[in-house]
Amino acid sequence: MGNKLVAGEETIIYRRMIFSTKSVIYFPDAAVGHRLKPKEYTTEHIHKLFSDGAYTAYNLAKANSSRKIAGRPIGLLVHALVSTIQSTAKWLASTIQKNKPQQLLHKLIIIRSLKIVAVWISAP
């Protein structure tokens, strides 16, 4: 989606097919792989992946949620707010413990959660 790393479109397509009584065949043992480029292992790319994941979360929730306000999924907003609070506490704890991997993880979750809130508010 432009320069955003958005995913999940196949999930929306499958759900639409199922609800329109089309057949979908699932192969749980199908091998699927992704070839990653070296730049996709960088901290910058991982930050972008988490941040842009907010758009994926919003699009999937909007397509699948039955509880909405002004067309926006309520559950996603609640989850993002709770996640922000929980990850802020965990980020503080990991900072005190000098646990850098956990610090990074919770920082990324906070970024993604706040971006979800921003996307939720600004969505048309």
pLDDT at res. 119: 95
Rounded-to-integer distance, Cα 20 and Cα 14, Å: 10
What's the predicted TM-score (pTM) here? 0.76
b/e code 100-123 from CB counts within 10 Å (16+ = b): eeebbbbbbbbbbbbbbbebbeee
Q: Determine which helix (DSSP H) or strand (DSSP E) holds 69, and give its type and residue range.
A: strand 68-69
Give 16-57 pLDDT, tens digit per residue: 777 787 777 878 898 888 788 898 889 898 888 888 889 889
Segments making up each domain of the chain, as ranges: 9-122
Rounded-to-integer distance, Cα 109 and Cα 16, Å: 29
As a whole-number percent, the residues of the chain with pLDDT over 70 amount to 90
Assigned token pair, 19: 């609800």
